[in-house]
């Protein structure tokens, strides 16, 4: 199961109001490091599908959401819990970097 796709229109319902913690990968199609992050994010989405919602949002197509959360560089991953930002990583942190934050957010 690949990562979910989020948009400006559904971000509040799918992310901020979600009962599970949510990891959002802010990316753009033209971004080299984002292309490296994409398959890792999809893999983690499958591995953690029962504990965490993992999705992506294209910053070019969804500028309002990227602006609202102050995303200045991509890729940026933001974790949300109970509608609030709880962790953030700018730049591609690799699978290990993402796993470290996932475990922190899940309290593992």
Query: Which residues are known to be catalytic?
Result: 31, 34
User: Residues for the chain: how many in total?
Assistant: 108
Q: How far apart are CA 49 and CA 8, in angstroms?
A: 22
**Which of these, 36, 37, 40, 42, lies nearest to 4 by C-alpha position?**
42
- No. of H helices and E strands in the chain? 4, 5
3-state DSSP assignment of residue 80:
strand
Half-sphere exposure of 94 (CA within 13 A, CB side): 2
């Amino acid at each position: 199961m690949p990562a979910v796709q989020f948009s400006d229109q559904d971000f509040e319902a799918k992310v901020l109001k979600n009962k599970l913690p949510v990891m959002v990968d802010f990316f753009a199609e033209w971004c080299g490091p984002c292309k490296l992050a994409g398959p890792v994010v999809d893999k983690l989405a499958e591995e953690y599908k029962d504990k965490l919602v993992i999705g992506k949002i294209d910053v070019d197509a969804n500028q309002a959401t990227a602006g609202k959360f102050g995303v200045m560089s991509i890729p940026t991953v933001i974790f949300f819990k109970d509608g609030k930002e709880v962790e953030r990583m700018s730049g591609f942190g690799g699978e290990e970097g993402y796993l470290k934050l996932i475990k922190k957010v899940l309290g593992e």
